[in-house]
Chains A and B, each alone.
Chain A
Amino acid sequence: MKTAQKNPPAHSVHSVHKTPTNPPDILAPVREMIQACIQCGTCTGSCPNAFAMDISPRGMWRMVIMGEDESITEELFNTKTFSLCSSCYTCTLRCPRGLPLTDAIQALKRIQTRHYPEKAKKNIHFYASFLESVRRHGRVRETEFMTLFFLSMKNPFLPFSFAPLAIRLMAKGKVKPGFPSAGNGALDPIFQKARELEASS
């Protein structure tokens, strides 16, 4: 028996094997950062986004510590907890162990992008679209950014889920309607350099 992933998480039995036969332990760098965690729950209590998370930040860190096993790693990347982090740093400020929790979450996001790109699809496209708009104009044009995002997600129904929000924002004049445009390419060298650096790292 490895793990019973089909069961809902709360009832699944996770077995810890003495000889890990897993692929490389991708969580090791994150675990290193938060190893001294005592599961006190301060992070969960202080997280302003916790209400929307499927597992608590405390549970997420526990999974990182326990996750030498592939199944738990995979389960961790199935949750949306860390992707909901808005980097407010409250948990980092309050953690009695002084752990770099926000940094660790960003590390988790990077690992997800690299190792589980299909799970991070939405995030990857969201960030890519955001940066594409920045590349073109040196700032974000919200409607362009969202249009690029919808196009890249290739989901014709996706725009409808954002429609109510868009209408409200437009009614208040918060965003202006507009179409994507090419921009003048002034920032291209910076983006080029960043790509080179990423490739070499």
Chain B
Amino acid sequence: MRLPTKIGRGLVVGAGIGGIRAALDLAETGVRVTLIDRSPYIGGILTQLDHQFPSDRCGMCRMLPLMDRDAGSQQCLRRGFYHDNIEILPGTELAELSGDAGNFTASLRGRPALVDPSRCIGCGACAEVCPISVPDPFNAGLSQRKAIYSPVPHAACAPYVIDTDACNRCGACLDACPTGAIRLMSKRREAFRILVVDDEQIVRDSLKEWLHEEEGFGVETAASGPDALKKMEAAESPYRLMLLDIKMPEMDGVEALRRAKEIDPEICVVMMTAYAAVDTAVEAMKIGALDYLIKPFETDVLIPRIVSIYGDLDADPADELLVGAVVLCGGTRLFSPAQGRNLWGHGVIPNVVTAIEFERLLSGTGPLSGGPLVRADGKPVERIAWMQCVGSRNLQIEADFCSSICCMFALKQAMLAKEKSGGQIDASIFYMDLRTYGKPYQQYRDKAEEMGVKFRRARVHSIFREEKSGDLIVRNSDYESVGHDDHFDMAVLSAGHRPMTGMAEMAEMLDIPLNPWGYMATKPLSLTRTEREGIFIGGSFGGIMDINETLIRAGAAANRASRVIHSAGGGLGEAVSETEEYRDVASETPRIMAALCNCFESNPLENNPDAAARLKADPEVAEVRSFDALCTEAGWNGLCKRIRESAPNRVLVGACLPFIHARRLKSLARETGLDPVYMEAVDIRGAGLPRHLLSMAIERLKRVEPEREPALPNHQRALVIGGGIAGMTAALAIADHGFPVDLVESSDKLGGNLNWLERTIEGETFAPLLEEMSEKVTTHPKIEVRTSATVIGASGEAGDFVSVIETAEAGPETPKHETLEHGAVILAVGGREAETTAYGHGTSDAVVTQKELETRLKKGEIDIGKLGSVVMIQCVGSREAPRNYCSRVCCAASLKHALRIREENPETAVYVLYRDMMAYGFIESYYTRARRAGVIFISYEVTGKPEVEFTEAGLIVKVHEPVIGRPLEIETDLLVLATGITPDLPPELAAGYGAKIDINGFFEEADAKWRPVDALKEGVFACGLTQAPRSVPETIATAEAAAHRVLRILCRPHLTPARITAKVRHAYCARCGQCIDACPYGARTLNPETDQIIIHPAMCQGCGACAAICPNSAAVLEGFTLAGMLAAIDAATEAEDGAGRTAQKEEAAQ
């Protein structure tokens, strides 16, 4: 039975980019989200990566909300973020989950925060005094950090944390902390009372010394069982842990345990025993002992065990949270090459680094501070080798999978190394197959080749070091020779990935099975749904993937979670942020209150009388006042009270961490009735008052224009164009939230490519999926399906699109025209197998494409039993101009067909001629299977393509076999061409909605990494083959992700512009159009009717690019007027001695 309460809350586990995406997707549609991560920071592995392929820059901020962006932070996302609907809990784990989809109870266990995050100002005084140095995991162990540290150096508001394993509890940081944020951990340990019971004096004494004097626990001892029981009864506060000897005179340990449990059932007892008495200890565990320790003790075993028991017992009690759905967005663990055989000498041979270590070496926040690479012996690094497939594609270490991202990672690093050294560094990549299977990745590889990165097809098994020169020797074999040695200065191991530590335990706890590769299993044909309804996978818990793929899956998982939450009654459409009623102060002269935090001890005004006097001298500054510790609750309340009393109409808050205070300004506004537009937060941390920053903020406050663009009406209805699996999935994903959807399909039936596709490589058939989806779509009350219908005209903006649909009702002669108004559109027009005339296709029945093969096999037109030999050629017309992209699905399709043929008739010889087998991820194991099944794979270069000859005897395929170095002639009965995928997106359709098309005819995303299904123009989305070649499950994920992007818009009755948007002063505008090109969000258009530049206020993100480029100052950014900015710049450039510009001019005149 479902509880009647609405649980409009989702839980997102893991706060890497996948988790952030899923949380934001849910939050933007009005769902409250709790985002947890077991690490003390958010951002996951990307905090360590400054450059991310394929753009080689960051751009993470592009994930931030575009609709109602004022609900969250609008700053660099790598530095941290917040959103009104998201509660972020770092250092928290999901301990338990009970209940069913729509109504889960999650127990969240946080580690006790030893540094109070609300008081830590990140000054770093604690780390300065900390005497302990340990390797810094953030820099992959290449640099040192203190036991108290900031986990991410570039984070804006990550409080310091304590590494409890390294900390020796000396207490130096306690005294150094100016805000008293560090809790008395030693007190806490002292309060954890341990009773040591042993008849031997020496055992009692040594345990007391180790546990009390060295570890700081409260330790008492007892010499016998009765003595211990007496102590227990007399104790004021109960003992938490008892270390109990088994063999004692008077009363043995087991009896003592029984009685102790009677006195205090809560007490945790660990038995101590000699090796011979382990049986008794096990008996004791049956009656309630937690564990046993074997005497004699090894301190390095004993102490960590006790500390770990302490950690478990002393953890803060788990919080219970009611959630409708759970999205698992954990990441992966990097393979450690140093484990096992370590043939590469990682950690042993200097200058052998892993990819993540190399990334940190390049980073500005890394151990070299971004300086040039040097070898361990101080010589400059001039030759670098990348070794692919370290820890991947290796059956000896049970890695029958491809780690999917390392090839692109290596390409990126090789190019970065080239760039950084001005092309001086010699970069070689040793690889087997270079898996550039993403849409723009082939071009990325081409770019690397142009830059001179060397590609060498050989797997490197081990690295040696030449003693004399200190060079690394890489022995490898190319096709031409039997092997030779190459010298390098540095070797980068492209270490693969493994399931995240603790993931298997979590899967067991959640009752989710693992797949054969050790990742969480998903349902057939879905990449996000697990066996347990209501729990979805949104990241690398289900396999290894790059940013683009992670964000798509996170979006899809968020959509699935949202549907569960919605169907459980916690629907969408509630206002994301309430519109507040504020005092109208627009017409008043500015009365600014400058509220400065005294940061516990120093009064900023007394310490800086000059600056204070200058502030006070400003006629528009009504009040300058210092407040006690604004970061504390009391300090903040004091500020609210004072504002209510003196009612200023502008407020300047000077404190540390403006990032946090910017968020708190909203609550200040709610409590004081002053619009947050009239508030500014400035960072005054450090010595003296930063006069310039204060003056700039004051100048801005004086010129605030509070006018807001009116909210726009929004058609809460979506149009999905294309009725293939992508379109059907997207339509359902929207309609299940209660919003009406129009689905338009140009052919006479739904299903698209699913009508001819038979099954996946895993063996899942598509027919049931097609039937189920067609049924659902056609019977859904909120979906209106139009077949034989096309969009013949389209225009409009987010929230207000108009499309004209032509439906051939009785036939093409009698078309019906309809006009639809909708708030958003999804282009799901799909794609098709590319046509070709290569290799004699079209001239012979024996030459077919993959689609033709699949169709014929499905219809039973091909008798596999009669085939003597089959040749498959990959990359036909692909991965070279004019279709220079990888179609991603063809290698898997060939493996699928090859395996099927070999299974049905082992006598049929199958040859696959390939360039790089794109068997990414788990497809690799099918590649292994095909090799095992006797399929012969022959690689060819684009410069030496196979040739086909039609003879009387039959078809002969000629190809150069590189390994044995000779031409081959293969007589074949069937030649199968993998021609790849071309999109079906008509340019005029894309243009009608303002979407761009890339050079290959696919939909162009706003950002290949960060906004994978969005057009640059808000309100227009794409999924499936329209966007890029993908498999069916991957297509379904893009469709759900796109649907959720649409829901962000549909869930609002009105589109409200954000606080800071651009405006046009039409009188000054020369209609030059520069601002239209400059706008990175496509918010500006020229209205031909009025001949005016118009801005879509909901699409404008307030970046100011238009204001900067406009030659006439006709483009202005609200809150950043020209006068205000100039005054702020004046204030900033004033000389330190108080002499202003005028003074300098006078000097110049003299």
Residues of A that sit less than 8 Å from B by CB: 9-19, 31, 35-42, 44-47, 50-51, 53, 55-56, 58-59, 62-63, 65-66, 68, 93-98
Contacts and interface: CB of A to CB of B under 8 A. Distances in A.
Nearest to A61: B963
B167 interface: no
B909 A18 contact: yes
Nearest to B958: A13
Contacts of A17: 971
3 shortest interchain CB distances as A-B pairs: A18-B868, A44-B477, A40-B459
B483 A16 contact: no
Contact of A50 (B394, B482, B933): B482
Contacts of A9: 964-966
Contacts of B967: 13-14
B968 A16 contact: yes
A36 B343 CA distance: 22
A13 B966 contact: yes
B971 A56 contact: no
Given A13-B969, A16-B969, A42 B964 contact: no
Contacts of B911: 16
A51 B967 CA distance: 25
A51 B477 CA distance: 11
Interface string B950-963: 00001010000101
B909 A11 contact: no
A36 B908 CA distance: 18
Contact of A66 (B395, B478, B961): B961
Nearest to B460: A45
B462 interface: yes
Contact of A45 (B394, B476, B939, B968): B476
B483 A47 contact: yes
Nearest to A91: B461
A97 B475 contact: no
B396 interface: yes
Given A40-B459, A62-B964, A95-B396, 9 more contacts: A9-B964, A45-B476, A50-B483, A51-B482, A51-B483, A63-B964, A94-B461, A96-B395, A97-B396
B932 interface: yes
A63 to B, nearest CB: 6
A15 B871 CA distance: 14
B934 A42 contact: no
A45 B928 contact: no
Contact of A41 (B477, B956, B966, B973): B477
B458 interface: yes
A14 B966 contact: yes
B931 A40 contact: no
Nearest to B395: A98
Contacts of A95: 396
Interface string B481-499: 1110000000000000000
A46 B341 CA distance: 15
Contacts of B477: 41, 44-45, 50, 56, 58
A35 B932 contact: yes
A12 B869 CA distance: 22
A12 B961 CA distance: 11
Given A16-B968, A63-B964, A37 B869 contact: no
Nearest to B968: A14
A66 B971 contact: no
Given A13-B969, A56-B482, A46 B963 contact: no
Given A44-B477, A98-B395, A16 B964 contact: no
B936 interface: yes
B820 interface: no
B475 A46 contact: yes
A119 to B, nearest CB: 19
Contacts of B932: 35-36
Given A45-B477, A47-B483, A18 B869 contact: yes
A12 B972 contact: no
A90 to B, nearest CB: 9
B459 A96 contact: yes
B349 interface: no
Contacts of B970: 15-16
A2 B950 CA distance: 18
Contacts of A16: 869, 909, 911, 968-971
Given A18-B909, A45-B459, A39 B966 contact: no
Interface of B: 341, 343, 389, 393-396, 432, 457-462, 475-478, 481-483, 868-869, 909, 911, 928, 931-934, 936-937, 939, 954, 956, 961, 963-973
9 contacts: A14-B967, A18-B954, A35-B931, A35-B932, A38-B432, A38-B937, A46-B475, A93-B341, A96-B396
A137 to B, nearest CB: 38
B928 A65 contact: no
Contacts of B937: 38-39
Nearest to A75: B964
Contacts of A66: 936, 961, 964
Given A13-B968, A15-B969, A36-B932, A96 B394 contact: yes
A181 to B, nearest CB: 42
Given A56-B482, A63-B964, A42 B972 contact: no
A144 B911 CA distance: 52
A10 B966 contact: yes
A49 to B, nearest CB: 9
Given A18-B971, A40-B458, A94 B343 contact: yes
Contacts of A12: 966
Contacts of A47: 482-483
Contacts of A65: 936
B604 to A, nearest CB: 64
A154 B968 CA distance: 41
A47 B483 CA distance: 9
A153 B963 CA distance: 35
Nearest to A52: B482
B487 to A, nearest CB: 15
A97 B395 contact: yes
Nearest to B917: A38
A41 B396 contact: no
B463 to A, nearest CB: 11
A44 B969 contact: no
B396 A45 contact: no
Contacts of B954: 18
B702 to A, nearest CB: 69
B343 to A, nearest CB: 7
Contacts of A59: 963-965
A107 to B, nearest CB: 18
Given A38-B931, A66-B936, A55 B869 contact: no
A41 B458 contact: yes
A29 to B, nearest CB: 14
Nearest to B475: A45
A193 B686 CA distance: 92
A62 B909 contact: no
B461 A62 contact: no
B854 to A, nearest CB: 22
Given A15-B971, A18-B869, A40 B432 contact: yes
Contacts of A98: 395-396
A10 B928 contact: no
Contacts of B457: 41
Given A41-B458, A45-B476, A66-B961, A15 B968 contact: yes
Nearest to B971: A18
Contacts of B931: 35-38
A53 B482 contact: yes
Contact of B963 (A15, A39, A51): A39
Nearest to A35: B932
A194 to B, nearest CB: 34
Contacts of B971: 15-18
A53 B457 CA distance: 20
B461 A58 contact: no
A95 B931 CA distance: 15
A98 to B, nearest CB: 4
Contacts of B965: 9-10, 59
